[in-house]
Amino acid sequence: MAALGPDEIARRVARELPGGAVVNLGIGIPTRVANFVPPERGVLFMAENGIVGVGPRPPKGGEDRDLINASREPITALPGAAIFGHADSFAMIRGGHVDIAVLGALQVSARGDLANWTVPGIGKGGIGGAMDLATGCRAVYAIMTHLTKEGDLKLLEECTYPLTAPGVVTKLFTDIAFIEFTPEGPLLREAAAGLTAEDVQRASGPRLRAAGPLGVLAREEGA
């Protein structure tokens, strides 16, 4: 299976972001997306801990301990970046001033329900700002592997984990597929190289409609 790695998924998400959008990057793979969007695209990246104008990760040795994202990873600040308090950050999110939230997911349902904060029985995880981001942003792009390490489905007819928010995912990016959620149900737009729509369907719970022609989720793409 020609599954994509984390940077390749982030690179594909980067291509999907419209110029001029205000985009919040959640923890994990989403934080890598900023590495693949050139400044001239005009995308304004936001970290929920209080900065708009996040740039790519700094080179090793060039880190500033005062500049981190919500994952506590070092970031850069582009010229004109704004730094503000946590309360102001969530006022922006809850006030509908953020266009897109890019969030990691544990499960996504056929309706675009999002579960991304805890696994039952593990006793870990906190919902944090995910609920605010999922409901306050105008669109949610979810990122996850298509299957668990044990081979279980993560794109399901109904989520079995506690929900973060119902019906909020607009686009889903996995290591083998790009899926858009429409009123008619999930639409498979791209599959990883070497995979067919039927291959992706076998790894998915809900019925997927396939776009025609089906695009290729390439392993090597420019941002």
Average pLDDT, the chain: 93
Query: What is the three-class DSSP state of 126?
Result: coil
In this prediction, residues 184-209 reach a mean pLDDT of 97
Task: Tell me which of 8, 48, 180, 190 is the catalytic residue.
Answer: 48
pLDDT in tens, 71-112: 889 999 999 999 999 999 999 999 999 999 999 999 999 999
**Which domains occur in the chain, in start order?**
6-26+91-217 (3.40.1080.10)
pLDDT in tens, 126-136: 777 899 999 99
Residue 223's pLDDT is 41
Instruction: Please check the confidence at residue 175 and state whether its pLDDT lies above 60.
Output: yes
pLDDT in tens, 10-51: 999 999 999 999 999 998 899 999 999 998 999 999 999 999
Residue 219's pLDDT is 61
Q: How far is CA 31 from CA 13, 72, 80, 103, 109, in A?
A: 11, 10, 20, 9, 23
Contact between 172 and 7 under an 8 Å Cβ cutoff? The reply is no
Give the pLDDT band of residue 209 (cuts 50, 70, 90): very high
Instruction: Please check the confidence at residue 220 and state whether its pLDDT lies above 70.
Output: no
DSSP character for 136?
H
Of the candidates 148, 152, 142, which has an alpha carbon nearest to the alpha carbon of residue 116? 142
E runs forming strands in 121-203: 139-143, 155-156, 169-173, 177-182, 185-192
Residue 120's pLDDT is 87
Give the pLDDT band of residue 212 (cuts 50, 70, 90): confident
Sign of CA dihedral 18, 39, 218, 137: negative
* Catalytic residue list contains 48: yes
Instruction: Please check the confidence at residue 124 and state whether its pLDDT lies above 80.
Output: no
pLDDT in tens, 58-69: 999 999 999 999
Instruction: Please check the confidence at residue 210 and state whether its pLDDT lies above 70.
Output: yes
Residue 1's pLDDT is 52
